Amino acid sequence: MNYIQLINNFWDEVPHTQGYKSQYGILYFAIVNCVNRNSWRPTRIDYDRLMNSAGISKPLFLEGRKWLSESKLIKFQEGKNAYTMAVYEVNILTATSTATSTATDTATIPSTLPNSKHINYINNKQVNEGDAPTPKPKQNTLPQPAQGDIVDYMIEYSTINKKPFTKSFLETESAKMFNYYESNGWIVGKSPMKNWKAAARNWLINSQNSNKFAATSSAAERPTQTNRTIYT
């Protein structure tokens, strides 16, 4: 049974049933819409939502729901108190009669109501996974360095700690680091970067461990702190 067949069988059979009112049909399709959005699983629905969707009063809502249940078009289980929503299921309609198994597009729904913790809510805080908003990625709002800041700091760090890095190597690595973090929003793992200087030191350590650095071939090529900003 699929949604279209359910609708066609309803209009073929139900309006000719004794006691049927047009408002009952509107209420039925309001319930079907909610249950369909929840993949035809038992669904908690706020009665205000159903009354507003059907445009009916509460007495007519209760009357129509009772008629739909007695006609085996739906199943419902009242909440334990006035603050708990009722759970609804939609029964399969055949071409000649109503049946007690539940309607589905692609799979069979259990005939018994599951524990409420497994039931998705309509008009409540708990929603179907497919309707849940996609979490926004974290953004780094902390001030971030320019590429020149990174190369200055790398030269200072290498000079103070007597690292055998050439000036050209440090300029290249600072550019790689800047481009890498600039492209991902300065995110480390899943969190915003908090200390870019620590990240620069780790970048050089990883480069050194990977043998990607070049030893200084002459004293003239060694980076110095002349005309460089000293970072603390």
Tokens of 207: 């480069």
Tens of pLDDT along the chain (232 residues)? 577 878 888 888 888 888 999 999 999 999 998 888 888 899 999 888 899 888 999 999 999 999 999 999 999 998 877 667 899 999 876 654 444 444 444 334 344 444 444 455 555 444 444 455 556 656 667 788 998 999 999 999 999 988 888 989 999 999 999 988 888 888 888 889 989 999 999 998 888 776 555 444 444 455 555 444 444 4
Cα separation, 27 vs 195, in Å, equals: 59
- For the chain, the structural domain boundaries read 3-131, 147-221
Strand segments, DSSP code E, in the chain are: 43-45, 74-77, 86-93, 98-102, 121-122, 187-188, 191-192
Q: What is the pLDDT of residue 226?
A: 47
Distance from CA of residue 225 to its chain's centroid? 50
Look up the pTM and report it.
0.44
Q: What is the pLDDT of residue 82?
A: 65
Per CATH, the architecture of 3-131 is what?
Orthogonal Bundle (1.10)
In 168-201, which positions are buried (b, 16+ CB within 10 angstroms) versus exposed (e)?
A: ebbbbbbeebbeebeeeebebeeeebeebbebbe
Q: What is the pLDDT of residue 206?
A: 86
